[in-house]
Structure 1
């Protein structure tokens, strides 16, 4: 079974809020280093999706993709497209999250492939991201063509607040879509 990838607009974020929040809450509880400290409450998760993500999606500054597997929304990734004036060729991958019970099913790879294709369609030629050094996602990113740009030690705390971890910055060049 292949995951279905879909793009969420503001209304779809609200319509999928419970699933998006559950993915975030359960992933952080499982140790995902995605900018949150454990435990993430339902209110914190809803606030993130509705107050941080939705306005940026509605303003066209980011794209949000979801992944359905067996009829359930189990993953998400964001493509940040609003860059400084001297970086119109670049975008960033952010918050690539797959629910812990849905990992190792090809969902992350499918989400990444879709986001990279959309970046190409938008004329972007460079995609960047950062990930916890040694995280399970790092080999996934390398397998879809990302290269290591560098590592910063003690960059952020783990979700449990007990230790700091290094962060690996990665990039991938892509060819822009041919003009039609």
Structure 2
């Protein structure tokens, strides 16, 4: 099997990758990931979301990192750097997505490590994220050194429409 390769995608590269990105998002939602969307969720349903991400990349508000196995994009994560003026040091980690056929290969860890490196490159040293309470992602973030802040019950809906809590995490990348 090929070794994963990670890339930061430009807006043009992200535009070209939209079909693969739509497939990953659809697969994750259909697989039960609470990432903002409800089932049924097709690749066509994902198109407006990814067009918005491409626009955010164009204006410098988002960094999109893609993991490839061979020629196939099988995972992504986003770094939201379009923060308010009083938060030039902070970024939001968004939408860690790994296609079900590529799970168990360490891609989530590699994507998160690359996101942290990109955050430092953009002079962001406080990172925040939220995830569905009780999800596999919650375990991953804890293992990667993220600090659990707390849980808000019934914060969002799972893809099937049932309520889920959200666990909030942060990670400081500097000793400031």
TM-score of the superposition, structure 2-length normalised? 0.95
Structure 1, unmatched stretches of 5+, are none
Do the aligned residues in 1 keep the contact of 2:156 with 2:166 (CA within 8 Å)? yes
What is the alpha-carbon distance in structure 1 between the residues aligned to residue 94 and residue 150 of structure 2? Answer: 17
Residue deviations 1:79-111, cap 9 Å, x none?
000111111110010011000111110111000
What is the alpha-carbon distance in structure 2 between the residues aligned to residue 160 and residue 22 of structure 1? Answer: 19
What is the alpha-carbon distance in structure 2 between the residues aligned to residue 2 and residue 43 of structure 1? Answer: 29
* Partner residue in 2 for 1:122: 122
Q: How many residues matched?
A: 174
* Partner residue in 2 for 1:7: 8
* Partner residue in 1 for 2:79: 79
* Partner residue in 2 for 1:48: 49
Q: What is the root-mean-square deviation of aligned Cα atoms in Å?
A: 1.2
Deviation at 1:2, TM superposition (A): 3.2
1:168 partner SS: strand
Residue deviations 1:13-64, cap 9 Å, x none?
12111111100111100001000111113322111111x1011100000100
* Partner residue in 2 for 1:113: 113
* Partner residue in 2 for 1:135: 135
Moved over 4 A (4+): none
Do the aligned residues in 2 keep the contact of 1:120 with 1:175 (CA within 8 Å)? no
What is the alpha-carbon distance in structure 2 between the residues aligned to residue 56 and residue 70 of structure 1? Answer: 27
Structure 2, unmatched stretches of 5+, are none
Matches within 5 A, 1:1-180: 1-50=2-51, 52-161=52-161, 163-175=162-174
